[in-house]
Amino acid sequence: MSPNKADSLIPAAARTAADLTPAWGRFTAITPQDAEFLSHFELAAGKTLLLDFELGATAFADVRARVCRALRDPDGYYNYELQFLDPAQRGLLKNALEKLPRD
């Protein structure tokens, strides 16, 4: 279920390789391997996305991730389970996540 504190989560732009009009949404969770992405745009499961976002002071562009699962919540938002595909990008994400301040 979508957390309804969505305005405090990390925003990201997402596009498929052939898509000229990208979508956007927010990460509700992120690890170096995978992420949960909340968006009101419909994206097909199995598609590969290119994501642009910022983690702390690090800006990421064209991070490759596959849509593993999509669930629509009662408000009409989609909750996507994403898996990051590129090992090099996973390493950069890990470094950026380690630098983020913890609660």
Binding mask 4-43 for other proteins (x = CB under 8 A): xxxx---xxxxx-----xxxx-x-------------x---
Which of 1, 88 has the CB closer to other proteins?
1
- The strand pairing partners of 53, in sequence order, are 12, 60
The candidate with the shortest Cα–Cα distance to 12, out of 31, 34, 32, 39, is: 39
CA atoms within 13 A on the CB side of 80: 27
Binding map of other proteins across residues 59-88, x = CB under 8 A, - = no contact:
-------------x-xxxx-----------
Q: Cα(10)–Cα(37) distance, rounded to whole angstroms? A: 9
With respect to other proteins, which residue has the nearer C-beta, 2 or 89? 2
